[in-house]
Amino acid sequence: MTAISLPERPLLVPPAPQPPAKDPNWFSVLAAFRTDGLRVWPRRAYEEDVHARSIMGRPTYLLNDPQLIRQVLVDNDANYGRSPAGIRILRPLMGDGLLLSRGEQWRHQRQMLAPTFTPRNLPMLSRHIALTCQEGIERLHATEGIDLLDFLQQIALEIAGRSMFSMEMRKFAPELRDLIRRYNRRLGRPHLTDQILPVRVKNWWDVGRFWFARQWVDLMERLIEERRKTGRVGAPRDLFDLMDDVADPESGVGFTARELRDQVATMIMAGHETTALALFWACYLLVLDRESQERVAAEARSIDLDPASAHEALSRLTFTRAVVQEALRLYPPAYVIVRQAIGPDELAGHPVPPGSIAYVAPWVLHRHRRLWRDPDVFDPRQFLPDAVQPDRFAYLPFGTGPRSCIGMQFALAEAVLVLAHLFRRFRVSIPAGEKPVMPAAVVTTQPDRAPLFLLSRR
């Protein structure tokens, strides 16, 4: 693709770890995936179309060429499944929901869920988002120290609860957040035996994941039970109604209770954890770039953001949306997509035997020297409507192909509306002398710490 060309302006280079000068040894690679996966790939990987190497005797390929990415994730998707480590880590949270199902089960689920996330449902969901934003921002006040990450996690969870269940999440939020934190701290980190053992062979960490899953499933079932108590009159009012109503076009059969529970768990996890991180990084970038922050604030003040007008407002929040898209480029919450070859293949002349690992790392891809002009700088203008847009396989914050994120438009709408509400009301900064917040990737691209932010009313 042709690198994007834009007029010069003073540009912000936000904090990011320097890649190692050369390939880490296999032990360092496995350790990095447990502590910070951004340090796995060396400097030259940001310039190569394919970065090939062997780890513990297994061929691995990091793909940066858009055509090769299309080959693995779209054209030959059936030949590439999730890795054993990915299945072990995600299944206790998401069961057999859309993210982990395969084959006919996946096609059945995707076909049933697709109508839920069509554009015609976005106005209903946008109202839920805007109402939650209004109430959440109202609770904020000018302060000299707020854990903005915690606030954004709370508001993203509340939005997930409102849009999915039409109910406040305060009753369940502490337990849910505690479970997720505990899981991320230990059980969500890949270990050596996760990488090398088949999924059917259980390891020590799977024992902990089994007991966690029992608690998690119990919480999901209590959420659904609470929602069913409210009943329903008239048209669908939330995602739960839409999923509960949906039926297979061929058989006419809807989700079983277990299938519905696993879809709810998948939507809650994917719908609030990654969105909260995207919002945090967008806020942090706007704190570092005051000019862009003021532009977001001015845009938001010029538009009616009330719940009844939220959907129409989205099309006018063009710069705010560009900020979200640029934040997703620089700090993609899903920093790597891992696929394991089921059968043989070939990638740009590299033979791919069964069991080989193909990586598509949005963190590397979005900073690739051949695909982006000034890839390390923050410049939302490259996502404005009149800019030359990147190749569709060079920008993958939501994945691509048949297994791309089904809730992409909902997540973008949420992030744009939350930013607009927040910066319309507050000027956000960090204390002088505060050291940079660095990204560190385990399962998602997280900040290495949660700094305190300063809020002042506009």
- pLDDT 10s digits, 334-349: 999 999 999 999 999 9
How far lies 357's CA from each of 27, 67, 81, in Å? 17, 17, 10
User: Alpha-carbon distance 333 to 223, whole Å?
Assistant: 26
* Tokens 């560190």, residue located: 440
Which pLDDT tens digit goes with each residue over 230-251?
Answer: 776 666 677 888 888 877 767 7
Calpha distance 399→392 (Å, rounded): 10
Phi, psi of 147 (to 5 degrees): -80, 95
Alpha-helical (H) ranges within 170-316 are 173-182, 192-196, 204-229, 239-245, 257-288, 290-301, 310-314
Distance between CA atoms of residues 235 and 241, nearest Å: 9
For residue 181, give every residue at least 6 positions away whose Cβ sits within 8 Å of its Cβ, in sequence order, or none.
none
Is residue 448 helix, strand or coil? coil
d(CA 109, CA 365): 30
Sequence-separated (6 or more) residues with CB below 8 Å from residue 222: 172
Question: What's the whole-number mean pLDDT along residues 427-442?
Answer: 92
Residue 2 pLDDT > 70: no
In Å, what is the CA distance from 92 to each residue of 210, 280, 300, 433?
Answer: 7, 26, 40, 41
Most confident of 23-32, 50-59, 67-76, 125-134: 67-76
Please report, rounded to a whole number, the percentage of residues in the chain having pLDDT higher than 90: 54
Q: In what order do the strands lie in the sheet with 337-341?
A: 50-55, 58-63, 357-360, 337-341, 80-81
Closest CA to 408 of 396, 392, 393: 396
- Amino acid 6: pLDDT: 47
| Residue range 274-298: mean pLDDT, rounded | 96
Q: At what angle do helices 257-288 and 103-113 cross, to 10 degrees?
A: 70
Cβ burial 224-262 (10 Å sphere, 16+ → b, else e): beebeeeeeeeebbbbbbbbbebeeeeeeeebeeebbbb
Q: How is residue 57 written in tokens?
A: 């005797």
Instruction: Collapse the DSSP code of 367 into the 3-class scheme (helix H, G, I; strand E, B; otherwise coil) and give the result.
Output: coil
pTM above 0.85?
yes
CA distance 395 to 329: 7
Q: How far apart are CA 358 and CA 53, in angstroms?
A: 11
Neighbour tally for 147: CB within 10 Å: 13
Place 5 in a pLDDT band, splitting at 50, 70 and 90. very low
What DSSP element (H or E) covers 122? helix 122-139
**Averaged pLDDT score across all residues of the chain:** 89
Residue-wise pLDDT for 126-181, tens only, equals: 998 999 998 888 888 877 789 999 999 999 988 888 888 888 788 888 898 899 88
Q: What 3-state class would DSSP assign to 146?
A: strand
Q: Which domains does the chain have, with CATH numbers?
A: 26-457 (1.10.630.10)
Alpha carbons 199 and 186: distance in angstroms, whole number: 19
Strand order in the sheet with 452-457: 143-147, 452-457, 426-429
